[in-house]
Amino acid sequence: MTSLIIILGVVLVLGILYMIFRVSNLVAIAKGGVVDEKSSTANKVNAALFIVFLVGSLILFFWYSITRFHEYTLPIASEHGKVTDKLFWITMWVTVAAFVIISIIMFVFIYQYQYKVGRKAKYFPDNHYLELAWTIIPAIVLAVLIFTGLRAWNDITGPASKDAEVIELVAQQFAWTARYPGVKDKALGKVNYKLIDNFGNEFGLDLTDKQSFDDFKSLELHLPVDQEILLKIRAKDVLHSVFLPHFRVKMDAVPGMPTQFKFKATKTTQEMRDETGNPNFNYELACTEICGRGHFSMKMPVVVEEQEAYDKWKASQEAWLKQNPDYLKKVPDALKEAAMIKAGMQKDPGVTVAEVKQ
């Protein structure tokens, strides 16, 4: 490694010395010096190489982009994904067109206006029509792109329908945890960050709220297909980011500032396996905000299934309160019996709290 660094250093020094020599020649020319035949030939060669570089680079760029398209694009598995992908590719083609036009003009000018004996540069102070054109046209294009994108963004982050499946995602170094509403009330209970502790209440569940009694925890994200989903997103420590690439879902998880994302999955896990021809395919939730040393491992399995299978899975899950019975003491006395029934800790409504404790 040391030898490589020394070699690179020597090459760099030689390159700098050569550039100093070239600059000194150009300064001499600018002061009225005579351009020798060797320098004139070098100018022509360099100008031609610029054109070769332009043509070769553009051919390579378009060849790679077209032939490798399937390697850097993922199948779409959500309704809004079609809209955002369309906006993305429109923006891409606009920027590529601008890039190609500017590159061609720049390199052709370099070739066309290379140094020639007896030719002097023309002083061209300004052109109002040209300045108006390159100001107004980009402004109109950008305005159309921005307002079209804003409309899609407002739809994604807007209020969900009453029938939406609400799921909470909580991020912490270096894991995701999902909280689902129970099958009895189908509503998430209230939370309070001050109630988070190291003994089991990782959500900060407020057990004075009846709707929290049947909420349950999951280390897998299960989603029903063709059903609107509202992800409520929180972070407990540092900045994280929810990323579901196939669903085109990307939203930051910010400590102290809950965020949300609304979408509808359109392909089950099995359907995606059939489409990709990969029997081992699984959706994945990943963190795309560098959050510490374990950032690379902050992933969560995602399962998309039919509504019937999803309902069956939810019904098989135990309430958080049932898994953490010590927290029953946090429930107000007047609500303890209701909490035990709702959490599945007491199947017979006729059994009292005192009898269960015995």
The one-digit pLDDT tens for each residue of the chain (358 residues) are: 677 788 888 888 888 877 776 776 667 666 665 555 555 677 788 888 889 999 999 999 999 999 988 888 899 999 999 999 999 999 999 999 999 999 999 999 888 888 777 777 777 778 888 888 889 998 999 999 999 999 988 888 888 888 899 999 999 999 999 999 988 888 899 999 888 888 888 898 999 988 999 999 999 999 999 999 999 999 999 999 999 999 999 999 999 899 999 999 999 999 999 999 999 999 999 999 999 999 999 999 999 999 999 999 999 999 999 999 888 888 898 888 888 888 888 654 444 444 444 3
Task: Determine phi and psi for 169, rounding to 5 degrees.
Answer: -115, 125
DSSP 254: B
CA nearest to 299, candidates 284, 314, 289, 310: 284
The answer for residues whose C-beta is within 8 angstroms of residue 268's C-beta and 6 or more apart is 225, 304, 305, 306
Domain ranges within the chain, ordered by starting residue:
165-357
Query: By the 8 A CB rule, do 47 and 111 touch?
Result: yes
Which amino acid, 115?
Y
Q: Which two tokens stand for residue 25?
A: 């020649």
Q: CB count, 10 Å around CB of 191?
A: 22
In whole angstroms, give the CA distance from residue 285 to residue 245: 8
Domain 165-357 has CATH 3.40.190.10: no
